[in-house]
Structure 1
C-alpha cells in the first residue's frame, strides 16, 4: 500500500522513534525507593509504558498494568512529582533511537513532508530528547500529553495539529506503535501506520485497524509518495 496526497506525517515518540524504557524504568524505581516500596525489573516496567506519566506512575504504585481502584489521589500526585523530578535528571541517559529512524525522518523531510510529534509524554521532555539525537530541526510541531486537556486515544491532539497547520485529516498520516495511536487516528478520520515493535502491552498492532502495518521504520519511505 502507498499513501498518496499526504502532506503531514505525525509521529508518536516513545516506542516509535525512541526506546526510552531504560530511563523510565530507572526513574520509576527511584520513585518507588523514595516511597519505600518494592521496585521492578525493566521488562516489567516496559509492559506498563505507553499511556503517559501519570498512568505509568499509577501502574507502578499498583504493581500491575491494572491500576488499583483505591490509590489515594494525593499519594499519586506526590509519587508523580517524585518520578518526574528523577526523570528530568535522567531523560536521555540510556534512551536510544530505534534502527533507521534518523535517516528515514531526514529523507521524509527532504521529500517534502511536514513532520510532527504527537506523544503522551509530558511536553517538557520532548525537545531535550530530540536535541540529544539531533532531530529537533526536523519537526515543525511538538504536542505532548499535557499540552491539551485530552490525549491519545482521544483525537484532540491530532485535531489540534490539523487546525494549527491548516490541513485536514485526509492530508495526514499518524504513525505509532500502540493502539492509542491507531484509535486516535481512527477517531480523527485519519489514516495510520502501525509499527510492530515498541510498546503495545503485548497486543498485536495488526488487530487495531491501522491502515498499514510495518516492521521496519525505514519502510515508511516506500509507503508515502514523495511530494
Structure 2
C-alpha cells in the first residue's frame, strides 16, 4: 500500500483517538449497580468495548465477553436505556486523547487531508466527546453505530463515507484499533491502518492483516512525512 495517493482518512474513535474506557466502565457499572448486580473492574470492561453500546452492556449483564444468549430481552432493554442515560452525563469525564492524537490530526488537516470519523459509538455521543477533548471542527463529518442500518465490520459506513465525500475507495484509508475496522475495510476493498493499542479483546490485530500496523498514533504522520502533500 502506498499512502501518497490517499486523500481521505477515516478514523475510528474509541480506542483509536480516545481512551474512553474509564467513562464507559463507569456507566456500565452504574447500570449494573442500578439493577442490583455486582460491578466489574475497569480493566475487565475494557475488554468488552468496541462493538457499540448494546453489545457492551450485554457483556456487562453476561459478566463475560461472550454474550449470554439467554438474557431476557426486557432486561437488556432496561439495561441499555439506563446505560445510555448514565453515559450521557459523563461522556467526557475521564476520557482522554491518546498521546499525540490532536497534534497529528491537526498536522494532517493542515497538509490538506480530509478527515472523518466512522465509529460504532451511538451518534449522539460523538460531538459532545469531540467538544470535550478539543477536536470539534477537525472532522468533516461523523458516522455513529446507529447512523445507518449496518455498522462496522459491515462495509456500509465506509461506502457511505465515500459517497458523502465524493471520493473513490482508492482515495481512502480506514484507521482503527479493532478487527471491526480492518474487516470493514477489507469488505469495502479499502486500504487500512491498524493501531496496536486500544480495544481489540486482547487479540493481536496483525492477524487481520491491516496494510500498516502502528504502535503509536503519530507514526501515521511519520509515514506521511516523506510523501507529497495532497493537492
TM range (shorter): over 0.9
- Tell me the TM-score normalized by structure 2: 0.96
CA contact (8 A) 1:2 1:222 kept: no
Helix, strand or coil: the match of 1:200?
coil
State how far apart, in whole Å, the 2-side matches of 1:60 and 1:103 are.
35
* Structure 2 counterparts to residues 1-12 of structure 1, below 5 A: 2-12=2-12
Partner of residue 208, structure 1: 208
Aligned to 1:124: 124
- Find the aligned partners of 1:73 and 1:213 in 2 and give their Cα distance: 39
Q: Give how far 1:2 is off.
A: 4.3
Aligned length: 227
Separation in 2 of the partners of 1:7 and 1:108? 10
Runs of 4+ in 1 over 2 A off after TM superposition: 222-226
Measured in 1, the distance between the counterparts of 2:71 and 2:110 equals 48
Counterpart in 2 of 1:29? 29
TM-align CA RMSD: 0.9
Q: In structure 2, how many angstroms separate the alpha carbons of the residues matched to 1:174 and 1:223?
A: 15
Say if 2:47 is the partner of 1:68: no
**Contact 2:92–2:133 (8 Å) recurs in 1:** no
Gaps (5+ residues) in structure 2?
A: none
- The 5 Å alignment of 1:29-48 reads 29-48=29-48
Tell whether the 8 Å contact from 1:2 to 1:223 is kept in structure 2 after alignment: no
CA drift at 1:223: 2.5
TM-score of the superposed pair, with normalisation by structure 1:
0.98
